[in-house]
Structure formats: C-alpha cells, structure tokens
C-alpha cells in the first residue's frame, strides 16, 4: 500500500457541513429581503462560469475560477425568471437539509416544477434549465453539490484491492463479480470511508468495455491495484473518488484513454479541472496523474493494422489544436509531440484497437510494459 498523505484540511462532519450550508442559504435570502425592504431591486450575484473567467494556477497545477460575476435582478425582464428559479431551488435545498434527505438532479427538477399562479408559465421549461440554476447556486454559495443534498446518476465503476465503508455498509471491492462497485455521485468522507487498502496504484480507463476486459483478466489482482472507469468523461463522483484515493491514500493514478482529442481532453479535466467546474478544482483535480496511452506512436510501435485507423474530421483537428494551446500543454514538449503526432497520422485510435493484436494484449502486454518502463506523459 502506498504511504498515506495528510489531507489538506480535516473533513467536516455532515452536521457541520449542513449547518454551514444552511447559514449560506439564509444569508442569501436575508440579503434579498433587506434590499427589498430598503426599496432596492432584489439581486443575486452569480460568479461567471466561462473560459474568460477561468484562471490557470501554474503553481498548483489546476484551473481556478476568476473574480468576474453577473448580477441577476428581479426587475430585469430577461433575468426575472432565473432570479425566481434561484430562490425556488434555494428554498428546496433548505427543506432537504432540514429533512436530512437527498434528491437527484431529476428529483430537484420535479420538486420545483409547477405552473405559476394566475399564468400558464411553468417554473422550469426542462431539466437542463433546472440543472443550470443548481450549478449557479453551487458557485454562488461556494457549496458543493453534495452539501446541497443533491446527487447525480451513477456513472462509474470500481474493483480492486480496497475495502470501503459506504453509508455504514462494508464493501469489499475484491469481491464485486463482473459488474463491479457502482461509484455513487456523493463520495465524501461521511459517506465513503476507506477501511483497508492493499493497492499500490489506481488505473483509470475511459470506458466500461475496456474496464470489463481488465476486470475479466483480473488485472487488478495480478498487479495489486484499483481499477476504475467513468463512462467516457468521468462524472464528479468518479473524479472526486480518484482525488481522494490519490490525496488521502497516496496512490498514483494512471489513465488509459483513447488516442483522440476527446481522450486528451478527459485527461486534461482529470489533471487540471474543467472550465465549468473550476470552482471545484481544489477537490477534483489530480495534478500528478499520469497518461499511459493510447499514443499516436503506438500504431507503428505495436504493429497495428490499417483497420484500426479512424480518420480525423475537421472538428477533431480543430479540437486538437485548441487542446495543444491550453497553457498546461502549450509548453509541454511531450504533449506537443503527442498531439502533433496524431495530427500527422491523420487518424485517431481507440484503446480497443489493441484487440487486433490479441484479446488480452492491453492487459497482459501493453499496460504492464508501460508501467515497468515508466513510459507515460504528465
């Protein structure tokens, strides 16, 4: 087992977190009321979640949110609906905290959905509108989604040499069969506790199909590791769990992703954070995560056939150039060579392309050799 690191800050208890979140919501409501009673327009200040308001903290190796914000006012016709939606969801969150219960994103949409009295106008047109308001509340209150008692659907899997406690239930991730342990969207210490970990590292793969190959071949058992997947772009629960495994247990995290702009972007998000969730980078990003592959040079190095080539389209090329220009990749010779190599090839490749060598080539040869040689990108 890797040497455990000391968390950057002690985890608050659920009771302490709830009290702090409730206080923020009450403060928000109180500020609105005070402005109204003083004869001023009620407003809510919402930090801007855009690229222009995202800052690259080179020292920490993460993306962070900048100071820009927009005011959402009740008397502005273009903002009145979103203002009221913000108040509506704030009230619902306060109710959830009081009841000590949680709701899904879908559940929050329905909890707030009704027709405004005396009109034919509904509070929310669809769930996307509702989800956007909830994200605004997260950043406005500086409170994470789990602190608002809201969870998203499960979209990740784990298996390996670790035992956890999930909401009081002991889960041995060595005995999860072919399906694995479904990673929940809320994985904070008061929900998920690490009991026993013998693993030396974490291998994160992009898709469930690849994860199933590694699980069936018992890769995690042979190489004493934890194996995770995030269904493509990993959701917050998966990213947060990876961060906790890295930060609290000191486990190195390696990524096996497709050789395409999407795979490169997924790695970037896991490593530095994302623009839309820059306010959560401190608890989601893993600056020292390693990229094992797939790499542009693997087409020749592994002796793959022309059949695995997937031609780059205009969107792929544009996206690859955008990623190469990211500040954290711009000055990185290894990543500049990697992206240029893919563009020069003119095609992308999936991890599954290695099956053309052998069904278990990726688990028995490719990844073990990369790990042994320490052949990765950072």
pLDDT band at residue 12 using 50, 70 and 90 as cut-offs: low
Model confidence over 213-253: pLDDT tens digits? 999 999 999 999 999 999 888 988 899 999 999 999 999 99
pLDDT at 298 over 70: yes
CB 11 within 8 A of CB 188: yes
Set 110, 181, 291, 366: catalytic member? 110
What percentage of the chain exceeds 70 in pLDDT?
Answer: 97
pLDDT band at residue 4 using 50, 70 and 90 as cut-offs: low
Token readout for 106 is 């879908």
pLDDT band at residue 1 using 50, 70 and 90 as cut-offs: very low
In whole numbers, what is the pLDDT of the chain averaged over residues?
Answer: 90
Lowest mean pLDDT among 30-34, 189-193, 202-206, 258-262: 189-193
Lowest mean pLDDT among 5-14, 196-205, 209-218: 5-14
Token readout for 219 is 């890769």
pLDDT at 6 over 50: no
Long-range (24+ apart) CB contacts under 8 A made by 320-324 are 320/261, 320/264, 323/261, 323/264, 323/265, 323/268
Query: In this predicted structure, what is the pLDDT of residue 340?
Result: 96
How large is the average pLDDT for residues 94-117?
Answer: 93
CA distances from 97 to 16, 17, 69, 167, 293 (A): 12, 10, 27, 17, 43
Query: In this predicted structure, what is the pLDDT of residue 166?
Result: 93
Instruction: Identify whether 110 is a catalytic site residue.
Output: yes
CA distances from 376 to 209, 294, 321, 331, 362 (A): 22, 10, 21, 17, 15
- CATH architecture observed for domain 14-151: Orthogonal Bundle (1.10)
Lowest mean pLDDT among 17-26, 48-57, 205-214, 298-307: 48-57
CA 56 from centroid of its chain's CA atoms: 18
pLDDT at 202 over 80: yes
State the alpha helices, DSSP H only, in 113-195.
Answer: 127-141
How large is the average pLDDT for residues 327-336?
Answer: 90
CA distances from 373 to 168, 240, 348, 366, 370 (A): 40, 28, 24, 11, 5
- Residue 330's CB is within 10 A of a number of other CB atoms, namely 12
How large is the average pLDDT for residues 195-211?
Answer: 95
Strands, E assignment, the chain: 43-47, 54-57, 62-65, 69-73, 103-104, 150-151, 157-160, 162-166, 169-172, 181-182, 192-197, 201-205, 225-229, 253-256, 290-293, 310-311, 347-348
| Boundaries of every domain in the chain | 14-151, 157-373
pLDDT at 9 over 60: no
pLDDT at 3 over 60: no
Q: Evaluate the omega torsion of the peptide bond into residue 294 and state whether it is cis, within 30 degrees of 0.
A: yes
CATH number for the domain running over 157-373: 3.40.1360.10
């Amino acid at each position: 087992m890797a040497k455990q690191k000391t968390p950057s800050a002690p985890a608050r208890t659920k009771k302490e977190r709830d009290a702090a979140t409730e206080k923020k919501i009450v403060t928000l409501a109180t500020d609105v009321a005070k402005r109204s009673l003083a004869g001023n327009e009620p407003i809510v200040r919402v930090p801007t979640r855009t690229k222009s308001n995202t800052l690259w903290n080179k020292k920490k190796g993460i993306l962070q949110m900048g100071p820009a914000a927009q005011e959402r006012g009740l008397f502005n016709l273009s903002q009145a609906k979103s203002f009221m939606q913000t108040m509506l969801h704030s009230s619902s969150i306060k109710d959830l905290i009081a009841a000590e219960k949680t709701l899904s994103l879908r559940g929050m949409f329905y909890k707030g959905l009704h027709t405004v009295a005396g009109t034919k106008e509904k509070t929310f047109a669809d769930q996307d509108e509702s989800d956007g308001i909830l994200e605004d509340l997260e950043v406005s209150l500086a409170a994470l989604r789990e602190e608002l008692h809201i969870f998203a659907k499960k979209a990740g899997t784990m298996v390996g040499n670790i035992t956890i406690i999930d909401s009081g239930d002991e889960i041995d991730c060595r005995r999860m069969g072919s399906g694995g342990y479904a990673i929940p969207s809320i994985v904070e210490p008061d929900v998920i506790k690490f009991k026993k970990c013998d693993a030396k590292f974490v291998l994160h793969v992009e898709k469930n199909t690849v994860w199933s190959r590694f699980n069936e071949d018992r890769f995690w058992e042979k190489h004493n590791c934890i194996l995770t997947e995030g269904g493509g772009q990993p959701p917050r629960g998966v990213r947060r769990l990876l961060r906790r495994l890295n930060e609290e247990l000191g486990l190195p995290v390696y990524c096996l992703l497709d050789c395409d702009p999407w795979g490169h972007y997924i790695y970037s998000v896991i490593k530095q954070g994302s623009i839309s969730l820059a306010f959560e980078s401190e608890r989601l990003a893993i600056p020292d995560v390693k990229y094992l592959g797939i790499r542009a040079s693997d087409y020749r190095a592994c002796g793959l056939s022309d059949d695995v080539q997937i031609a780059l389209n205009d969107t792929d090329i544009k996206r690859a150039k955008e990623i190469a220009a990211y500040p954290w990749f711009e000055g990185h010779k290894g990543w500049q060579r990697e992206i240029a190599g893919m563009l020069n090839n003119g095609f992308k490749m999936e991890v599954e392309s290695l099956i053309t060598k052998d069904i278990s080539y990726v688990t028995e040869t490719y990844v073990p050799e990369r790990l042994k040689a320490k052949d990765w990108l950072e």
